[in-house]
Structure 1
Amino acid sequence: DRVIEELKILKRDYPKIEYLIFRDEILSVNPRWVKEFSEKYPKEIGIPFYCLMRPETIKAEVIDDLIKAGLFYIGIGLESGNDFIRNEVLNRKMTKEQILEGIKILRDRKVLFSLYNIIGAPHETLETAMETWELTVKCKPTFCDVFLMTPYPKTAIYDYSIANGFYNTDMKTPETYHGTIPLKLKDAPQLENLMHLIGIAVEFPWLMPVIKNVLIKLPLQPVYNVIRKFWKGYVYRYRIYPYKVNAVESARIIYNQIFVSKA
């Protein structure tokens, strides 16, 4: 009830809202709460929404209720396809089987979803990054967004990086998640290039041999960054967000994504 009341205020103050984003990764944990939400939200709010979920919490009945409520998109943190990095380094504690089972529930219901992955965690190599790509391809997401590992001080991953000799203390913490890896990894330059191109390689897997064997070895990160941003802008505009804009607005969005945004 409190959530609905807050959303009523939001809807009153911003009457032109076309969609909402719930940035709460545990929205699906309490099926009884979701059931009540799915009955009240369409009647009292009725705005399409996007939410976050952990793959092992995706259950058929919960997704059905959220679809009834107005769900149009889900963001899921897969993070790494390598079991050791995902579960022991990043502490995600989910199996590949759980991930694929959750994704199957979404695909069976034709729910659009993004997978969020991290490249450059402690122990990362090109081989473990390829495991991430392979698992992501199996999931067939609407979009794959990839970020570079950036351990912040006073976090568990920062402490782990320091304790295991990975953190590069000579490097400042990067300003974005798409620039450089602040860890001592032998494949770091190639991993940084791969981060920009892996999303397109998920959409078009046949590109991966040339990406892995040729493109990531070239000093063309600024070019790859523009490619990544263009692809992200295109997918967000034409596949994901359910709002209507004219050609001029579309061009502005794509321009900002490529030349202004650091994301």
Structure 2
Amino acid sequence: MAYFRRRILTVLATTIFAAGLSSPASHALPPGQVTVVLVHGAWADTSSWNGEIIELEKHGYTARAIANPLRNLVTDAGAVAAFLQTIAGPVVLVGHSYGGAVISEAAASSPNVKALVYVDAYAPEIGESASTLNGDTSAVVTLPDDQLYDTASYPDAPNGALDLLLKKDVFLRDFASDLPTEQATQLWSIQRATSTVALKTPNTAAAWKTLPSWSFISTGDRIITPASKEFMAQRAHSHVTTFQGGSHLTLISHPRDVAAVIETAAASVS
């Protein structure tokens, strides 16, 4: 029953539209004509979206998760934009965490993208990088790097850039805080390295300025503060859903709640 109550609240919350934006189309396209493209964030991979894909496909949507290179904001977005060119028809583009910065950049050059969804994600303004938007010192990633990351060099790294891997204690305690320890440990062990360049490169585009957007905000997130996500959502005039609790990986722990917001965004496409 708790799930159904949350789902009803999610649908209600995401249908309250910010001032200046149009109401959802009365002639929405059938689910089979809308493709949802999912972009994961740092220290993750496409499996982050397994639960959402299952839920979306149950309701007739085609869902595609693309591997985010995690090398450089501009080139990562270019890889996503190139993938979007292979899809016929309208797209709802979804980003988690750093993936939010990527979709903000990629959608600006992708005319088939009709809506954006930010899942505990960054939504930078032009000139901002993901690393500047974590929020106040309650965000764990504001700690010194040597307390957060194991680092490694990589071939052709520009200007001394490094690959970052979250330390095990940080990953379990703060990144995946609402997941069972065994599951969180497995995710830590398979995390993908993220270049410092990816997190520090400023956005050159902010597609949320021209596209309708939805924001899913977990109050239990210790990586990006809820206040920072709320600020970005209000700036983008997003339709906000606040999820009580969760973690930075609520997309894994509560995929049905996240999928419900994505479906609301998809239902706006006409």
- Same fold at TM > 0.5: no
Higher strand proportion (structure 1 or 2): 2
TM-score range normalised by the length of the shorter chain? 0.3 to 0.5
Higher helix proportion (structure 1 or 2): 1
Bigger relative contact order, structure 1 or 2 (CA pairs below 8 A, ≥6 apart): 2
| Structure index of larger Rg | 1
Q: TM-score, normalization: structure 1?
A: 0.37
